[in-house]
Structure 1
Amino acid sequence: MSKPFENFDFSTFWDNDEYALESYVSESPSDELILSIENELGYKLPKSYIEMMKVQNGGTPVNFCFPTDESTSWSKDHVQISGIFGIGREKEYSLAGDLGSQFMIDNWGYPTIGICICDCPSAGHDMIMLDYRKCGKDGEPEVVHVDQEYDYTITFLAKNFEAFIRGLVDYDEYDTSEEDLVNQLEALETARFSTILTQFFQSTQTKDFEKILRTIIIKLTKEKGYFSLHDDPLSYLIYDTLFYLYTKNKKVSSASKYVEKAYPKMIVFTDRGINTGGYAPSFISTWLDEKIANQDITKKFFKGLKFTTEYEHTILERLKPYE
């Protein structure tokens, strides 16, 4: 019988950047630690996985894509992993770490079919698991993709852990970013804004805000290669413009209500073409906190949170190049 990973070159497998070393990579596991983790999780770890972890205990691989025959929430033809959990408890992304296997099962609702072994770029919304349903808790598990976004749909990937590792391929095989950018820019030229923004455009006629916002969004998308709002200057200009439009038409009673309820309806979760499809509330909260701290936004008893007259003038000046 051949040894696990015979003739496999681990010297070129790992991408040991600072993040991987801090969050994934632990010291080589002892036999005692391995047994302890197995007892804690309730499953015998695959021999190939143990042998691999003795070479390097967890980390982020250079090749992080695995082909699929069916579509998932990530892609129609592959899934991606962020890292491989090591055997241990100390690192955040290890089998028994703070964001390890049992955490994902207990807190994210992943099925009790085995062990979460790899996390994915979706930050918890899909995972790679060792599936013990056919082999039992002491057998050789299959490797599957579990998709929280698709009601925890389970997609078979590989017959065992070694086959999964050997099957990982380079991202370049699936890189369609240039084509995706062209398609997105074409769509942004004509796509409709949310219903509430459309109403604001019609009622706030001091400028052609539809044209202005579209121009800024297209510029931002060209610069980033995709449409997403973060803490960059163009994103902040969009936050300014959205808040300006909203407060010209509706009252903002509190910062939390704006971030959680008003903002998403304008640009995040909408039924129209121009939307981010998701958002990190911390970005918009940080922007709002900064404006309040700088007194660009003040709270008036009857009118709620609003820009000062001076800052409104500043915004309108900044929007002139996009008219």
Structure 2
Amino acid sequence: MSKELLNKLKSWYEDDQHDQIAEAIEQLPESERDYEIVSHYGRALNNLGRYSEALQQLLSIEQQGRQDSVWHWRIGYSYFFLQRWEEALSAFEQADKLEPDETTQEFIEACRDTMERQAEAIKEINRVPFQERDFSQFWERSDYADENYVEAPPTAEMIASIEEELGYKLPADYIWLMQQQNGGVPVNTCFPTAIATSWAEDHVAITGIMGIGREKTYSLCGDLGSQFMLDDWGYPDIGVVLCDCPSAGHDVIMLDYRACGRDGEPAVVHVDQEANYRITFLAPSIATFIVGLVNEEAFDTSEQDQADDLDKVENAPFSPLLKSLCEKAKGISQIEAVIRNICTRIVGDKGHFSLHADELSALMYDIQFWLYANVNPAVTREQYLADYSEIIVFAKGFGTGGYAPGFITDWLDERIKQGDIVDDGGILSLTEAAIKRLVDKLAAIESDLEDQGANSFEEELKPFVWIEHDSGNVSIILNAGSYKQELFDTRADEGFEGNGYDWGSLAAVYLEEKLPELEGIVRFDPEAGMFCAYSKDREALLRFATEFKQACENNELIRDLFSRAILD
């Protein structure tokens, strides 16, 4: 392989341009495809979700790859996403034997976990047959579900018609469930996963289950049904889209007919548009999927997620594009600080970092267009919408991680309608009046930030994070594991680790001895990786947080208090 080609392959891989790698190698004659070339090709095909092709290519160099941990890892990856668990496990174990690696271990554990989950799911279905189960409390009752999902019970004629249109025979257990209620939003909307997806580290979530029909928006053949997701969103033609997800199109749950054929019993899989349509096995049948759904409370990480997003908007680096635009901004000297302040308020309001159709999101849309148009005065609608996601959305640091394009196009149409943005022959520009109003608003925020200075109580409280909730409650949280770790290490032999529970023990001693009048008013809710204190009384929690943080900085005092902490 030429050095020039090797450098190109490496560059494309670093830029996630796996299609470029595949196309370049496919143009090479078979005689020029050596072991390294085919290995690169297999990796690219895996990353493109073409697992069967990747497996075929990698098996063609099996003789040379037997002592290569990378070859075993890549073939294990193919097997894993083809749902061939035992073969995947064997390959990953061999890769780990040749060259131990943390990621390989994660896949080994995922294989074992998936095989165990599958066996348990089948055992549970065999214990109580699906159609003998009580589904009277399965569905959530709501006007939204009735309006968007729930169809009339399907007739035999309707079922046959839908199957003909989709080109797949629907599973008998699914048909039976839809005859009880034809589509809707279940009470339990989460399904555990063995590996991370774009949604979460350990589960996926659904918005609803599509019914058999055409009338409702979210039915199998409705306006936003299975064929729409395949045609408009590019999902692979492996079966039927069964469930939409909270990401507004960026991932779905599908019935996967690849192994069983169009008339067989399909598996249930998660398809991740954010990861090149990666397919993740969930359950061997619709019955095991339905029975395996759990309530979102089992995965409630809202406080931790909010803390993570607060840290992101306060500290994570801007994307190269946003950083460049900010450097050329006119009229606001501290534009980065202003943006971070607005986004901190967004996270405080929503509990996470995302832009929708609210007032603060609209302000961020205004800022992004103003910055972009300042550098690109001849910007067109198509150009801006194409580059928009690179400003904040998909930035590796300061980014929302995803977006629904409809929010940004609706904002743009509204600004044009209001006259704040002028469309002159396809060239978009903010009016001078709109720019002045925006700059004045940002200047006011900048002035407030300057007045606050570096001595705000939020700054003094760090690394504790102050959170005000829509309910009126307030809380402080701390990501455990680093702050004052040396304190907990003094009693490590007793089992103290410095986790959230250990911080809860220390805080309890402090509250009992130093602020007994606040007992019952300030409460604690620690977890393994996080300490949390909360209250309905803002002033009470503010007093506790301020004085507890001061105590933590007094080594003599905090060591004395900690000597009486009891291991939870």
TM-score (structure 2 length as normaliser): 0.50
Answering whether residue 383 of structure 2 is matched by residue 274 of structure 1, we say no
In structure 1, the partner of 2:438 is: 315
For residue 91 of structure 1, the aligned residue among 213, 216, 230 is 216
Render the CA deviation track for 1:182-222: whole Å, top value 9, x for unaligned: 12212322222233443444443653212212111111211
Partners of 1:91 and 1:128 lie apart in 2 by 18
Answering whether residue 157 of structure 2 is matched by residue 20 of structure 1, we say no
Deviation at 1:46, TM superposition (A): 2.2
In structure 2, the partner of 1:159 is: 284
Kindly indicate whether the alpha-carbon contact (under 8 Å) linking 2:154 and 2:182 is maintained by their aligned counterparts in 1: yes
Answering whether residue 164 of structure 2 is matched by residue 51 of structure 1, we say no
Deviation at 1:299, TM superposition (A): 7.2
Answering whether residue 187 of structure 2 is matched by residue 62 of structure 1, we say yes
Deviation at 1:107, TM superposition (A): 4.4
Kindly indicate whether the alpha-carbon contact (under 8 Å) linking 1:24 and 1:59 is maintained by their aligned counterparts in 2: yes
Structure 2 matches for 1:1-323, cutoff 5 A?
A: 4-6=130-132, 8-203=133-328, 204=330, 206-247=332-373, 249-254=374-379, 256-257=381-382, 259-261=384-386, 263-271=388-396, 273-297=397-421, 305-308=429-432, 310-319=433-442, 320-322=444-446, 323=449
Residue type at the aligned position of 1:160: S
Query: Which protein, 1 or 2, shows the higher relative CO under an 8 Å CA cutoff with sep ≥ 6?
Result: 1
Q: 1:198 to 1:176 in 2, by over 3 A?
A: same
Partners of 2:130 and 2:327 lie apart in 1 by 66
Larger Cα-atom Rg: 2
Deviation at 1:289, TM superposition (A): 4.1
Render the CA deviation track for 1:30-86: whole Å, top value 9, x for unaligned: 122223333333433222212211110111111011111122232221111221121
TM-score (structure 1 length as normaliser): 0.84
Gaps of 5+ in 2: 1-125, 450-568
Partners of 1:276 and 1:239 lie apart in 2 by 13
**How large is the RMSD of aligned CA atoms in angstroms?**
3.0
Residue type at the aligned position of 2:265: E
Kindly indicate whether the alpha-carbon contact (under 8 Å) linking 1:251 and 1:305 is maintained by their aligned counterparts in 2: no
Kindly indicate whether the alpha-carbon contact (under 8 Å) linking 2:357 and 2:407 is maintained by their aligned counterparts in 1: yes
Deviation at 1:176, TM superposition (A): 0.9
Kindly indicate whether the alpha-carbon contact (under 8 Å) linking 1:13 and 1:61 is maintained by their aligned counterparts in 2: yes
Partners of 1:270 and 1:168 lie apart in 2 by 32
Deviation at 1:244, TM superposition (A): 3.8
Tell me whether 168-177 or 37-46 shows the greater mean CA deviation: 37-46
Kindly indicate whether the alpha-carbon contact (under 8 Å) linking 1:65 and 1:170 is maintained by their aligned counterparts in 2: yes
Tell me whether 54-63 or 209-218 shows the greater mean CA deviation: 209-218
Kindly indicate whether the alpha-carbon contact (under 8 Å) linking 1:259 and 1:285 is maintained by their aligned counterparts in 2: no
- Matched residue of 1:5: which SS? helix
Deviation at 1:160, TM superposition (A): 2.0
Deviation at 1:13, TM superposition (A): 0.9
Partners of 2:375 and 2:226 lie apart in 1 by 45
Tell me whether 283-292 or 155-164 shows the greater mean CA deviation: 283-292
Residue type at the aligned position of 2:310: L
Deviation at 1:114, TM superposition (A): 3.1
Gaps of 5+ in 1: none
Partners of 2:232 and 2:414 lie apart in 1 by 33
Kindly indicate whether the alpha-carbon contact (under 8 Å) linking 2:331 and 2:439 is maintained by their aligned counterparts in 1: no
Q: 1:162 to 1:213 in 2, by over 3 A?
A: same
Greater per-residue helix proportion:
2
Kindly indicate whether the alpha-carbon contact (under 8 Å) linking 2:239 and 2:257 is maintained by their aligned counterparts in 1: yes
Q: Percent of aligned positions with the same letter in both sequences?
A: 51
Partners of 2:402 and 2:270 lie apart in 1 by 22
Kindly indicate whether the alpha-carbon contact (under 8 Å) linking 1:251 and 1:304 is maintained by their aligned counterparts in 2: no
Deviation at 1:173, TM superposition (A): 0.8
Residue type at the aligned position of 1:276: T
Q: 1:16 to 1:206 in 2, by over 3 A?
A: closer
- In the alignment of these two chains, the number of paired residues is 318
